[in-house]
Amino acid sequence: MEIPAILARILDAHRDQPGALLPVLHEVQEVFGFIPPETVPAIATALNLSRAEVHGVISYYHHFRQEPPGRHVVRVCCAEACQAVGGEALAEHAKARLAGSDVTLAPVYCLGLCACGPAVQVDETQLHAAMTPTKFDALMARLESEP
Ligand code: FES
Between CA 113 and CA 128 the distance in angstroms is: 9
- Residues 17, 25 contacting (CB under 8 angstroms): no
List Cα–Cα distances, 48 to 13, 54, 115, in angstroms. Answer: 15, 10, 43
Ligand 1, CB within 6 Å, residue ranges:
77, 79-82, 110-114, 117, 119
Amino acid at residue number 135: K
List, as one string, the DSSP characters of 73-107: EEEEE-SHHHHTTTHHHHHHHHHHHHTTSSEEEEE
Domains of the chain, first to last: 3-60 (no CATH), 72-145 (3.40.30.10)
Q: pLDDT truncated to tens, each residue of the chain (147 aa)?
A: 688 899 999 999 998 899 999 999 999 999 999 999 999 999 999 999 999 999 999 999 988 999 999 999 999 999 999 999 999 999 999 999 999 899 999 999 999 999 999 999 999 889 999 999 999 999 999 998 887
Query: Full-prediction pTM beyond 0.85?
Result: no
Gap from CA of 30 to ligand 1 centroid (Å): 23
Gap from CA of 54 to ligand 1 centroid (Å): 28
What stretches of the chain show up as alpha helix (H) in DSSP?
Answer: 3-14, 21-32, 40-46, 51-60, 80-83, 87-98, 133-145
Between CA 142 and CA 123 the distance in angstroms is: 14
